[in-house]
């Protein structure tokens, strides 16, 4: 029996409502082309190398710092400009729920650990509500930065939706 991890009680909820059908949002969340369009905070770009959309399946991608501030940040933390990242899907329930574990292995002086993100997609008439629930990281400073990063990604998802619907 497989146990699906549940978000922690202290997990953050990031919510957005988009003027788009749930099917379009699901496509942007679960396809190579969709992810490469929005799945990075400002100043970074993403290139997907593997996408196996099923529980236990992997998402592998390379995130590259491209903006001056982001390049300076990754250099200051001793990280390379490009890093390969991996996520393991724990839930895939089209078009309503997606959950995955990320390996947090980019923090200087911190042992790698897994981190849960859950995304719920709910059609609400002509609009769609998206709720991203993210567990905290190892300390408050990194947690706040990660929440801001994920919020920026959701804003970029909104921009990708607008590009496809206008």
Domain ranges in the chain are: 12-165
Q: How many C-beta atoms surround the C-beta of residue 158 within 10 A?
A: 18
How many angstroms separate the CA atoms of 59 and 64, rounded? 16
Tens of pLDDT, residue by residue, the chain (166 residues): 456 777 777 889 999 999 999 999 999 999 999 999 999 989 999 999 999 999 999 999 999 999 999 999 889 988 899 989 999 999 999 999 999 999 998 788 899 999 999 999 999 999 999 999 999 999 999 999 999 999 999 999 999 999 999 8
CATH class of the domain comprising 12-165: alpha beta
* The model's pTM: 0.89
Measured CA to CA, the distance from residue 16 to residue 121 in angstroms comes to: 10
Paired strand residues for 100: 89, 117
Question: Partners of 127 in the beta sheet?
Answer: 124
Q: Where are the beta strands (DSSP E) in the chain?
A: 12-18, 44-51, 58-65, 82-93, 97-104, 113-124, 127-134
């Amino acid at each position: 029996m497989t146990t699906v991890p549940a978000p922690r009680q202290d997990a953050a909820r990031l919510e957005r409502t988009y003027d788009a059908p749930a099917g379009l949002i699901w496509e942007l969340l679960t396809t190579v082309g969709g992810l490469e369009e929005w799945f990075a905070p400002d100043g970074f770009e993403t290139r997907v190398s593997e996408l196996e959309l099923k529980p236990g399946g992997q998402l592998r991608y390379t995130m590259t710092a491209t903006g001056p501030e982001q390049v300076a940040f990754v250099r200051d933390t001793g990280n390379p400009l490009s890093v390969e990242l991996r996520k393991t899907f724990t839930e895939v329930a089209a078009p309503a729920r997606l959950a995955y574990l990320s390996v947090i292995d980019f923090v200087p002086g911190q042992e790698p650990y897994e981190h849960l993100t859950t995304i719920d997609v709910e059609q609400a008439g002509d609009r769609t509500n998206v709720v991203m629930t993210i567990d905290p990281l190892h300390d408050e400073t990194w947690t706040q930065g990660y929440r801001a990063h994920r919020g920026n990604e959701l804003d970029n998802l909104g921009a990708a939706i607008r590009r496809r619907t206008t």
